[in-house]
Structure formats: C-alpha cells, structure tokens
Amino acid sequence: MRREWPKSARDYAQTVAAAIRSLGGVESARRAEAEPGHRSEVVRPRLDALGALMLDPWGDEEEAAAAALAVREAGRAVLPWPIVHVLSVPMPVRDDCGGVHLVLGESTALDHADVLPGPVALDLRDGRAFSVTVDRLRQAPLDPFRCDVRLADSAGSGLGPLSADASGMHLLLDAFWVGGALAEAAELALRHARERHQFGVPIGRFGEIRSRIADLVLARDGLDELALYTWWLVRVGEAGPADLLALRVQMIESAQSVLAHAHQILGAMGLCEEHDLAVIDRHLQPVLRRPAGRLGTTALLAEHVRRDGFAALFPVPARLPR
C-alpha cells in the first residue's frame, strides 16, 4: 500500500477545495438550511462544473483517488449536496439510479432524498433494494435535510448484482466525508487553543487542553489511516463487508472523540450557532446515526466476523454453525 495519494488527485482536491471556499465553506451549509433550493441551484452546478459528480470511484487509481479526496474536501465544509450517495452508484447504472441510501429494514426518513432522481435504498443486512418515494422535506436541527420517505421493495432497481459494490462504496466514502469534517473541526479547536490566552499564555499550554488535543488528533488521524487502508483493500479487491463495517465503527468512534474534545476546548462558543463547529456537529449527525449508530454497526460487524472471519492484524477465523 502506498501512503501518498497520486499528485493528480491531490491537485484535483485543491481545485475542489477552492471551489467550495468560493461558496463560503461551512456558510453554504447554513444557507442551504435556510434556503433548501440552494442545494440544486448553487451547489450542484458548481460540482457539475468540476466534474465531481461524474467521477468513478471504481476507476483507475488516479480517478478513484480523486473521488475519495473530493468527497473529503466536501466533508470539510459539510457541503450540502449528497455527493457520497451519487458517487456510490456504479457507473453502468447511473442513468437509472440517481443515488444510493443505506438502511436497516424499513426507514421513514432519509437525508437529501428530495434532490436525487430515482434514489434507491439498500438494506445493509441482506442487500435488498427499495425504491424511495419522497413525501416532503422535513428539516430538524440534528437532521438538516431530512425527508419523509416511503420505501417499497424494488427487485428491478437496476443495481442487481452491483448492490454489494454500491453499499460497500457508500460505507467507504462516508468515512472520507466524515474524515474531512473532523479535520475541519480539529483545526477549529487547534486554532482556538493557539489564539485564546488565559493568565498570559495560550490555553494550548495547559495540561488539560494538551491532553484533549492529543486525543483529538489521534482520533482524527486514526480514521484517516484506516480510510486510506480500506480504500486500498477495495482497490485490490480484498475488502469484505467486515472491513467496511469496521471502518464505519472507527468513523463513529473518531467523530465522537473529535467532536467531544473540540467542544471542550472551545467551551460555550463552540455550541453557538454562529460558530462553524456547531454547524459541522449538527450536519454530521445523520451520517453517524443512519443506517445505524455505533451499537447497531458493531452488531452487524460481529455477525459478519462470526460468519466470514476477519483478516485483521490478529486474524479471526469464521465460526461454523454447530
């Protein structure tokens, strides 16, 4: 595994980052909450102009890397467009399916479903596909682009045997999106620790703050490393469901750690709606809780490990039924 991304992918990520900054960064997410049409009228055209929504994360190494890094840059600003849902659709069926959502059985709420043409929901447990009918956009503080939906069994979803690929890619790209958001949250906390002074010194020199910074950075970097490794496993065809679910567990735990420590470092200011950390925190909640939170995802992971084994640092063999 190479630890360095291809230069062309890094250059493309910088272009994406510049375009997102021109939209106002995190401010674009605030605006989309107040004006939901901002997503389709402003954000999507900018992504289309970059070709970001046409990237193939299963393509050659440079294109696949560009897709992952573009998603990460979108995550840094919690960009209000479901780029993960779109890129998770395999190229051969993108004309028939505008986006993929992950669910566990019946679901009555999905994020951004109102802006995707012909979205499909995939059940993580058994791979069943559901057609999605959107009733209405019903926003909530911790679910900013929640849509009330109805699901119906859809054997003819168009994904067919590609359903497993789509759900696996969704889990992988979610980790890059969240990784970007956590990188931005960490930077906000680190900047505050450098700039905020008490008793004549930056608060970052205090033992309590230094301890929190260490834990925060460890959680952020841990997710980045595991996401890169899992991306490589997918590239070489060795990623199984357990690898992708393990990545999701790490993603949720890293987010809990980074956000908790960032809020402690920033104090009350980080809870104010005017601060970017509060917006990042709120916009992360849907991906951290849907289709399952930490306990639900861990239960799924345990089931796959029991059934298939897990080729980790300390391999776990499959347990055959008695």
Q: What φ, ψ does residue 153 adopt, rounded to 5°?
A: -50, 135
Residue type, 79: L
Sheet holding 129-137, edge to edge: 100-103, 120-123, 129-137, 146-153, 109-111
Q: Which helix (H) or strand (E) holds 47?
A: helix 44-50
Picking from 195, 135, 126, the residue whose alpha carbon sits closest to that of residue 164 is 126
Read off the pTM: 0.95
The tens-digit pLDDT sequence of the chain (322 residues) is 788 999 999 999 999 999 999 999 999 999 999 999 999 999 999 999 999 999 999 999 999 999 999 999 999 999 999 999 999 999 999 988 999 999 998 899 999 999 999 899 999 998 899 999 999 999 999 999 999 999 998 765 566 767 889 999 999 999 999 999 999 999 999 999 999 888 989 998 899 999 999 999 999 999 999 999 999 999 999 999 999 999 999 999 999 999 999 999 999 888 888 899 999 999 999 999 999 999 999 999 999 999 999 988 788 888 876 6
Residues linked to residue 198 through DSSP beta bridges, in sequence order: 201
The residue whose two tokens read 């566990």 is: 104
